[in-house]
Structure 1
């Protein structure tokens, strides 16, 4: 009798799990596509990095506002919104300038490894415990990946992408505050618009408008960023913290495959090995992480 009572819920649970898996994959593809779109813009069009950044942020803000309207959620500025907006702007600007000179997969690796290490470091400061060998492996792998060589990405671009990753990690940590995530993200995008416009002013002598590059920026801002974030926030609330972090480690791999398929980009055996060591170390730390003991 217990079996017959429980059976009607089993198809619904299976459907729910399948939906979570599918939407998780969609979100990871969107994150990786952001890297590909930036590389495509700078490889196949003449658009400048500041213009790409501004168009992406404005398109994201408009899209998130439209989503909020559809959900009939009133727009409000959450506490800490200016800090989130500043971090979002730093991420987007450094991301764009870095992708002028770094490959799709390599950029995604530095970006997500840096972001995860920032969040891991925050947890350690707050008293969480994690594998020290895993942390050393992640840091060593990232250092080896950035080590100057004939096949490594340009150091300046890699450092810019590391800055973007650190800003993204900080933005993600601030995004854990209470409140509707779409509204919080929309507020951050809106407040980042003046910063993007200020960047345009500073870069006015280097601005180059290109319709194709602008189209890539609009798609990046409205679809793979705004809609991708909206999907990810829905998924993230249904995954464990470890699962939510671990699944993001797939993005550099997806990015590398996209770069190979669409731009013919390749990574050296050294870079692949160092990248895998970095991802393995981050995964090790995340899987071994334990919450701080109550005081």
Structure 2
């Protein structure tokens, strides 16, 4: 029950990131790259503060996981850029569909035992993702934005896999953010970003996303991933698009299309089938 509740709380945090990002860019007039950098900085500050409060020290050579830092950067920037165009629910569905594929591939490579029921549930959820990507008549398909989100999903999948071997989730997450933040600052001046495109609302949303739903949320995620395993962790995250869709519809008045509803039903059905235990 504890793992289930912590996982559910983490999924809500993940969905909140999608909604907060869209709110900052659409309503707050925030530049996507600037939002990503502020999110990294806020996460680094709050997690560094927690380490100081807990009087924890780390040795860079012993604690550094370059894959965690790199995958976090790939996820953060791909995520923000994709949400310039994509609605909250669509973006989350693409993101976590790719996460599922990445983590299942890792499980297959590592020769994990995957029950037939979980394979079927995964296939059903993947079918929902394909339906979401299928071009619809009289509808624009933002391929660039979708591609950016799929790349972000690959980054987050790797980030989640790295977290399975983490002994101290808070310290590992803090180190990832602390090392990724200065790299993000450098990228702010290398990537095409409008430094004048910001507002008080956008900055506040970036800080909230970075400090709470990202920094603390990812530390919580690192604490439950070892108990879930690669395949269950992957499938569980496919519940996030449903939460993000509801949040986007309520807070941003985003349209809920028939295509999205069908994809959501397929994804939820696959998730339930894959993680259900007798």
- Structure 1 length-normalised TM: 0.82
Residue equivalent to 2:129: 142
Identify the match of residue 267 of structure 1 among 224, 232, 256.
256
Distance 2:222 2:145 in 1: 29
Map residues 63-82 of structure 1 onto 2, 5 A cutoff.
63-77=46-60, 78=62, 81-82=65-66
Shift of 1:245: 4.5
Pair 1:143–1:243, CA change in 2 (3 A): closer
Aligned counterpart for 1:186 among listed residues 174, 183, 188:
174
Per the alignment, residue 210 of structure 2 pairs with 221
Return the alpha-carbon distance in structure 2 between the equivalents of residues 282 and 28 of structure 1.
Answer: 13
1:49 equivalent in structure 2: 32
C-alpha distance in structure 2 between counterparts of 1:83 and 1:39, whole Å: 27
> Could you report, residue by residue, the CA deviation over 1:226-272 in whole angstroms, capped at 9, with x for unpaired residues?
122233344555x5436654443322111111111101112211222
> Which secondary structure does the structure 2 equivalent of 1:175 belong to?
helix
Which stretch has the larger CA shift, 161-170 or 80-89? 80-89
The secondary structure found in structure 2 opposite 1:214 is: helix
Q: Deviations over 1:29-65 (max 9, x none)?
A: 2111111100000111222111001100011011111
- The aligned counterpart of 1:89 is 73
* In structure 2, distance between residues paired with 1:142 and 1:152: 17
Alpha carbons 1:88, 1:171 under 8 Å: kept = yes
Report SS of the residue matched to 1:101. Answer: coil
Equivalent residues in 2 for 1:1-295, closer than 5 Å: 17=1, 22-77=5-60, 78=62, 81-130=65-114, 131=116, 132-149=119-136, 150-151=138-139, 154-203=142-191, 206-207=194-195, 208-236=197-225, 239-241=227-229, 244-281=233-270, 284=273
Moved more, 164-173 or 79-88: 79-88
Deviation at 1:212, TM superposition (A): 1.7
Indicate the residue corresponding to 1:4 in structure 2.
none
Deviations 1:88-131 (A, max 9, x none): 00100000000111111111111112112210111011113444
Q: Unaligned stretches of 5+ in structure 2?
A: none
- C-alpha RMSD of the superposition: 2.5
Distance 1:35 1:153, change over 3 A: farther
Does the 8 A contact of 2:98 with 2:157 survive in 1? yes
| Distance (whole Å) between structure 2 residues aligned to residue 160 and residue 244 of structure 1 | 22
Deviations 1:6-46 (A, max 9, x none): xxxxxxxxxxx4x6655444322211111110000011122
Q: Is the 8 A contact 1:104 1:255 kept in 2?
A: yes
The 1:170/1:92 distance shift into structure 2, 3 A limit, reads same
Kindly indicate whether the alpha-carbon contact (under 8 Å) linking 1:30 and 1:228 is maintained by their aligned counterparts in 2: yes
Alpha-carbon distance in structure 2 between the residues aligned to 1:153 and 1:79? 42
